Amino acid sequence: MVESHRSFSRAEIGPIVVVSLISALRLLGIFLILPIFSAYVVRYSGATLALAGIAFGIYALTQCIIQVPLGWASDRWGRRPVLVFGLALFSLGSLGCALANNVTALIFARALQGSGAVGSVALAALADLTRPAVRTQAFTITGIAIGSAFVIGILGGPVLAASIGLNGLFYILAALGVLAMILAAISFPQGNQSQHQEASMALKPILFNTGLRPIFVATFILSFALNLFLFTYPLSWTQIGLEKSQLWKVYLIIFMPSALLVFPYMRHAEKQGRFRLPIVVGWLTATIGYAIYFFGADYDFLLYLSGGAFFFGYSLYQPLLPTFLTQRIPPGGRGTATGLYTSFGFVGSSLGGMLGGALIHISPSLPELLGVLLLVLWYISGLPSPPESAA
């Protein structure tokens, strides 16, 4: 009976698969352009390095701004229509990027592309359609789907760009967005009627909720640390002689522990109803990974070890944080809450990437030192805790 309670029901399997597919399809397109965007954009008419940076970063900026309004709209009018609307904006923006023939047009199209900020809506929908007893497993499966899309994008982007160019990749993004939109329109399940009838919550009580504050801080710090890591990590490999074309092998190896171990570990923790240990293990492995990187950036074995440890710790938190968040908020406020959660993550990502570029010019080891110090200060200030019902 306990085993059945901690396993997915038939009614839950469908929504998990659909939400995972929609999330992975949309993000696969973004991941395809990540490794090659800057190298191709500088060739556009009127492009400078500064404008190329704006074209790259404005997507995250509009994502950050629009997450909360779309999340609130999904609380008020339902997840499916807002999800379809956001994916339509993403697809139109991607098509605009494909048709852009100068950097100014590309910047405006990227802003439109980023306005399809439906990540928070997908998180809220997954919480609506799963029981608290299996929600961590559900978020873990979606995380694995997104992680797989990341690896495919990082590996496939450079290969595809070499044959069809950046414009061709943007057409693929538009097609993936349309496919996700169709999937959302015809297969996305509706939540319970009681959820739709529940009044939506205001922004202020969610933003200043003391129980949610550690979760918002956690996603900010982890996103900051991730982009700080991703900015310097490939540079360390090229500095010790690895060809850029071989970096995909590194990412494949360091993501393997997360892909193989996170889901069974989270499933075991959820069955036991004990999340305090994964919280500490996630923080510890991420911090150890950064510390190994700080001391061992000149050695390939230590670089592998640091990357594997950091991503394992980071991956443990990806299902935990939205689970804790959605268990503390009723359905009428989940879209707004996940919008805030996602926005804090985008702000952290932006600052981490920008500081990584600034600090590495001062000293190659400064970004890693900052990462270690930030993670240690996070532990001192207090890690997030599970709701009492999930402890």
3-state SS, residue 95: helix
Q: How confident is the model at residue 263 (pLDDT cuts 50, 70, 90)?
A: confident
Q: Which ranges in the chain belong to alpha helices (H)?
A: 2-5, 10-33, 37-41, 49-77, 79-99, 103-114, 119-128, 135-187, 193-197, 203-207, 213-239, 247-272, 276-296, 300-328, 331-362, 366-381
Instruction: Please check the confidence at residue 85 and state whether its pLDDT lies above 90.
Output: yes
Task: Supply angle C-alpha 31, 227, 237, rounded to 5.
Answer: 85
* Residue 1: predicted pLDDT: 41
Cα–Cα distance, 272 to 212 (Å, whole number): 23
* Residue 66: predicted pLDDT: 87
* Residue 391: predicted pLDDT: 45
Pick from 224, 171, 236: nearest CA to 349 = 224
* Residue 2: predicted pLDDT: 46
Instruction: Please check the confidence at residue 221 and state whether its pLDDT lies above 90.
Output: yes
* Residue 245: predicted pLDDT: 66
Q: CB of 334 within 8 A of CB of 200?
A: no
Contacts of 124 (CB under 8 A, 6+ apart): 71, 74, 75, 79, 326, 331, 334, 335, 337, 338
Task: Output 47 or 308, whichever has higher pLDDT.
Answer: 308
Indicate the DSSP class of residue 102. Answer: B
Over residues 365-370, the mean pLDDT reads 87
Instruction: Please check the confidence at residue 318 and state whether its pLDDT lies above 50.
Output: yes
In tens, the pLDDT along 91-128 reads 999 999 999 999 999 999 999 998 888 888 888 888 88
Q: CB of 137 within 8 A of CB of 266?
A: yes
> By percentage, how much of the chain surpasses pLDDT 70?
93
Contacts of 216 (CB under 8 A, 6+ apart): 340, 341, 344
Over residues 261-272, the mean pLDDT reads 85
Which range (149-163, 168-182, 299-313) has the least confidence? 149-163
Q: How confident is the model at residue 246 (pLDDT cuts 50, 70, 90)?
A: confident
Q: How confident is the model at residue 47 (pLDDT cuts 50, 70, 90)?
A: confident
Q: CB of 91 within 8 A of CB of 116?
A: yes
DSSP-derived secondary structure for 198-254: SPPPPHHHHHT-TTTHHHHHHHHHHHHHHHHHHHHHHHHHHHTT--GGGHHHHHHHH
* Residue 194: predicted pLDDT: 44
Over residues 42-55, the mean pLDDT reads 80
C-alpha to C-alpha distances, 260 to 148, 324, 358, nearest whole angstrom: 12, 23, 35
In tens, the pLDDT along 332-364 reads 788 888 888 888 888 888 788 777 777 877 887
Contacts of 293 (CB under 8 A, 6+ apart): 229, 233, 236, 302, 303, 306, 307, 310, 368, 371
> By percentage, how much of the chain surpasses pLDDT 90?
26
* Residue 376: predicted pLDDT: 95
Q: What type of residue is 180?
A: A
Over residues 49-60, the mean pLDDT reads 78
Task: Output 241 or 10, whichever has higher pLDDT.
Answer: 241
Long-range contact set of residues 101-107: C-beta below 8 Å, sequence gap at least 24: 101/44, 101/45, 102/44, 102/45, 102/46, 102/47, 103/41, 103/44, 103/45, 103/46, 103/47, 103/48, 103/51, 103/52, 103/55, 104/46, 104/51, 106/41, 106/44, 106/55, 107/51, 107/54, 107/55, 107/58
